[in-house]
A and B are shown apart, each in its own frame.
Chain A
Amino acid sequence: MIARRGEGRVALLFLLPAGFGFVLFYAWPALQTFYLSFTDYSLLATPNWVGAQNYADAMSDRKFWNALLVTGEYVLINISVQTVVALLIAVLMHRLTKSSVVRGALLLPYLIANVVVALVWYTMLDAQLGIVNAMLTWVGIDPVAFFGETSTAIPTIALVNVWRHMGYTALLIFAGLQAIPTSVYEAAAIDGASEARVFRTITMPLLRPVLAMVLVLTVIGSFQIFDTVAVTTKGGPVDATRVIYFYIYEKAFQQFDFGYAAALCVVLFLILVGVALAQLKLLRAGSSDLD
């Protein structure tokens, strides 16, 4: 392939509108947050420069480390279950049906706002009045306080969010499956390859760039779990569900310690950049096996 010079100018033109939005609505606020992380800003008074004090405080903040740990547990459960289920749905849809009814049904949860999804599951899973526990009782299982026990609260929240996002994630993967030339599958069918073998040798390798994107997106999104916690457990019981984003929110908007919250935000940002870079490297997201 011939490398051309001078495409930088065209690229600039194509990037202009998106770049404008990026600078105005993402980069500039982010820089402000970065600056404020070195201050004692309380939202309602002018900020004073305090150097790296907020960062030093964060390092010795037990609740901050607990929040990171809890978030890590959430991300691990949420991502592993969601990716497996979404991949399963996408492959099943791809190999079995082109029905838009099935696809529409699976996408339904994504049409419902996060907060309402959380509320619906919260009532459905109640230990005494929830329908899920009523069903468990019908088949002879003792009720479980899914959201109330420190041990089950985080897995429950993780699975509720899997429920909301599995159809959405499946649709992204499905779009990637559609991009795989059908001729490859026809050839495999003539060879009499089993479904498992087709999946391993054809689907997975060709799906890699899309799967990489989906993983990067969902992992980053997963770290920002907030709404579900805010309307259900509110960080409790004890500190079992005080995830990092909820902790940052409490600091910034309930305790008015915005400077400190900004510092936590920067730390979280650095962690996410690290995670995303590692993912992109591992998954070689920039290249496709199709070339």
Chain B
Amino acid sequence: MRFPKLAAIAALIPLALAGCAGAPADGGGSNEVTYWLWDANQLPAYQACADAFQSANPDTKVKIEQFGWADYWNKITTGLVAGTAPDVFTNHLNYFPTYASKNQLVPLDEFVQRDAVATDVYAEGLADLWVAQDGKRYGLPKDFDTVALFYNKKMLGDAGVAEADLTKLTWNPQDGGSYEKLIAHLTVDANGVRGDQPGFDKSKVAVHGLGLDENNGAGVGQQMWSMYALSTGWEYTDKNPWGTKFNYDDPKFQQTLGWFSGLIEKGYMPSLATARSGSSVNDGFGAGKYALSTNGSWMIGSYFGYDGVEAGVAPTPVGPSGKRATIFNGLADSIYTGTDNRDGAWKWVKYLASAECQKKVGEQAVVFPAIPEALAIAKDKFAAKGVDITAFTGAVDDGATHLYPITDHAPEIASLVGPAVDAVLSSQADPSSLTAINEQVNALFR
């Protein structure tokens, strides 16, 4: 018979091919450490670390793999389920609580004690982020980020505003203070009329004073509204980390949100629909559609990289509490419990968290290293590129930072609060609607 033979041959092809492909690369030998990260811009910096690490530890080989942000977490999750996750991986605060509570991460305390690794060498507070609810440490900080105000130098000049004035801005949720006055002044309609002049046509705005981030701010609004709300003295939770009661019902928060959506109604900020219609807020800034834009330090490369736009950066305004505010967040490296090379993995994590490696990262001027002396190097390197990062780092020195809210149920909270804030910003709901949402959020902890 002719066809069963054919079918049998066809069925054998993939198996034969499997043979050619050689042994699986995952897992690796017991002296190999696989390390994953998501940012290709940081890959050269960490490759430099790996090279230095290897020449000091010839018995341990480090293999770095990089996946874009969206793929990264799919791959990590699948890897954790199937037991093929990398030995060490860059971890994020959104995911770390879940992974830690499901025993997917190796507690580092014993290693830290054994090798007497100092956890107080990092910028203050950063190391605390990575201690889980069980009191154990699951990561050592590698870098940090804060939020500041990017501005278009030419638009500032055209409006007759001195760059130095941006450091004196104040804000309050009632009338927006000198900050709102500046935003209004920088807004220009199609006829060239400014937002604070009579005859301003808010339906035909050519340049918005302030850009609106295209991301759904979830429950945090990190680069959207957190710097205002936090500067009123408001806090996300009863305690941080591991709070169990959220404060979205606080009038201070709701007033802030009301003021924020008011900017849209006044025409000073694009509508939510426009912000979400396709391009990122930074591309809008690059296209000269926005004069100001609040964003995180991880976006410096984008904001300063546009042809035709000269960018500057200033700290966020001083709020009713008398202080500025920014979320303080960072990444860390964690070890996967399924690793077959715990000691090698720890050696690598220890090296990544060391001043030696972080200085190498600072040299590349792509992120802010967690260790101050490495940060100093980064500061110089950024300055050489024409970027003064004190707008970001000043917040740390001034104690104006607030830790990213770390709690259980973060994804559920995001899915509740995100759409609710959307509804307020698109005028479909009043800020007071957050009170009911807050009830639902707090119910998650009961």
Chain A residues in contact with chain B, CB under 8 A? 13, 16-17, 42-45, 63, 122-130, 145-150, 230, 232-239, 250, 253-256
Contacts and interface: CB of A to CB of B under 8 A. Distances in A.
Interface in B56-107: 70, 73-74, 77, 80-81, 98-99, 102-104
B99 A44 contact: yes
Nearest to B98: A256
B289 A129 contact: yes
Q: Is the interface of A mostly helix, strand, loop or mixed?
A: loop
B284 interface: yes
A255 B287 CA distance: 36
B272 A148 contact: yes
Interface string B212-240: 00001000000000000000000000000
Contacts of A127: 270, 273-274, 277-278
A12 to B, nearest CB: 12
A146 B277 contact: yes
Contacts of A254: 411
B216 A126 contact: no
Given A146-B277, A233-B276, 12 more contacts: A43-B81, A44-B98, A123-B279, A127-B273, A128-B289, A129-B279, A146-B278, A232-B278, A234-B216, A237-B273, A250-B411, A253-B77
B412 interface: yes
A148 B214 CA distance: 10
A180 to B, nearest CB: 30
Contacts of A145: 271, 273-274, 276-277
B94 to A, nearest CB: 9
A238 B419 contact: yes
A239 B279 contact: no
Nearest to A115: B70
A237 B426 contact: yes
B428 interface: yes
Nearest to A250: B415
Contact of B273 (A17, A149, A250): A149
Interface in B362-380: none
B77 A130 contact: no
Contacts of B426: 150, 237-238
B411 A237 contact: no
B301 interface: no
Given A17-B7, A42-B102, A44-B102, A238 B423 contact: yes
Contact of A255 (B99, B279, B283, B415): B415
Contacts of B177: none
Contacts of A234: 216
| List of 6 A-B pairs having minimum Cβ-Cβ separation, nearest first | A126-B278, A148-B273, A148-B277, A44-B102, A145-B277, A145-B273
Contact of A44 (B104, B272, B273, B423): B104
Given A45-B102, A255-B412, A17 B278 contact: no
Contacts of B415: 63, 250, 255
A225 B426 CA distance: 25
B4 interface: yes
30 contacts: A17-B7, A17-B11, A43-B77, A44-B81, A44-B99, A124-B278, A125-B277, A125-B278, A127-B277, A128-B284, A128-B287, A129-B289, A130-B279, A145-B273, A146-B277, A147-B276, A147-B277, A147-B278, A148-B271, A148-B273, A148-B274, A230-B70, A234-B216, A235-B216, A236-B276, A236-B419, A237-B272, A237-B276, A238-B423, A238-B426
Contacts of A129: 278-279, 283-284, 287, 289
A207 B7 CA distance: 33
Contacts of A126: 277-279
B152 to A, nearest CB: 15
A43 B80 contact: yes
B272 A122 contact: no
Contact of A236 (B274, B283, B422): B422
B189 to A, nearest CB: 14
B419 to A, nearest CB: 5
Interface string B267-302: 000111111111100011001010000000000000
B418 interface: yes
A128 B279 contact: yes
Contacts of A130: 277-279
A254 B428 CA distance: 27
A239 B70 CA distance: 21
Contacts of A255: 411-412, 415
Nearest to A256: B98
B202 to A, nearest CB: 14
B273 A236 contact: no
A268 B287 CA distance: 43
Nearest to A128: B289
A126 B412 CA distance: 29
A149 B278 CA distance: 11
Interface string B366-400: 00000000000000000000000000000000000
Nearest to B81: A43
A75 B384 CA distance: 54
A257 B134 CA distance: 22
A18 B276 CA distance: 45
Contacts of A237: 272-273, 276, 422, 426
B115 to A, nearest CB: 29
Contacts of B80: 43-44
Contacts of A128: 270, 274, 277, 279, 284, 287, 289
B4 A13 contact: yes
